[in-house]
């Protein structure tokens, strides 16, 4: 069996191919095509069609055309995430560690430019040494 994911206009199709051989079809094999549809409210939708029926929550069988089975699957998971989905704590930690990185890199470059080498390059080295000895006593 082979699985192929096909993104189309922000939606996703999944094709499952190389299934069982179809009787009397000269070696033709069954395949399945599932169309994932965004459903932000997580309401089960049934397609208005005489041949469609709901298999499980959000999954609808649409049709079978020449050994290709067509399904649609309505799900909140198909919506993906938006760019503004970071929490306040995520933003805080990103900015905090970015600030520490800039502080260390800038301080090291400044101290290196002023002739310091080795551990002397670390900005405010005496402060960090005292902080470590106080916290471990």
Q: What is the pLDDT of residue 48?
A: 45
Are residues 69 and 130 both part of a single domain? no
pLDDT band at 29 (very low <50, low <70, confident <90, very high): confident
- 3-class SS of residue 89: helix
Under 8 Å between Cβ of 68 and 55: no
Are residues 73 and 9 both part of a single domain? yes
Mean residue pLDDT across the chain:
78
Q: CA angle, 67 as apex, 64 and 70 as ends, to 5°? A: 40
Model confidence pLDDT, tens digit, residues 61-105: 788 788 888 888 888 777 766 655 677 788 888 998 999 899 999
pLDDT band at 109 (very low <50, low <70, confident <90, very high): very high
The span from the CA of 45 to the CA of 56, in Å, is 11
- The CATH number of whichever domain residue 36 belongs to comes to 2.70.130.10
Q: Which domain holds residue 104?
A: 88-135
Are residues 65 and 96 both part of a single domain? no
Are residues 97 and 58 both part of a single domain? no
Are residues 94 and 73 both part of a single domain? no
Average pLDDT over residues 28-43: 81
Are residues 13 and 69 both part of a single domain? yes
Q: What is the pTM of this model?
A: 0.49
The count of domains in the chain is 2
Are residues 36 and 56 both part of a single domain? yes
Q: What is the pLDDT of residue 52?
A: 45
Are residues 64 and 24 both part of a single domain? yes
Q: What is the pLDDT of residue 16?
A: 86
Are residues 97 and 122 both part of a single domain? yes
């Amino acid at each position: 069996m082979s699985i192929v994911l096909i993104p189309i206009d922000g939606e996703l199709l999944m094709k499952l191919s190389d299934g069982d051989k179809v009787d009397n079809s000269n070696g033709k094999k069954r395949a399945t095509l599932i169309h994932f549809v965004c459903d932000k409210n997580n309401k089960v939708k049934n397609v208005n069609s005489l041949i469609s029926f709901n298999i499980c929550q959000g999954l609808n069988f649409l049709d079978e055309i020449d050994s290709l089975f067509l399904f649609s699957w309505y799900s909140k998971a198909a919506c993906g995430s938006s760019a503004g989905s970071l929490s306040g704590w995520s933003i805080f930690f990103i900015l905090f560690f970015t600030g520490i990185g800039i502080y260390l890199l800038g301080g090291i470059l400044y101290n290196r430019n002023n002739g310091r080498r080795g551990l002397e390059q670390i900005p405010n080295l005496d402060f960090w040494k005292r902080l470590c000895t106080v916290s471990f006593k």
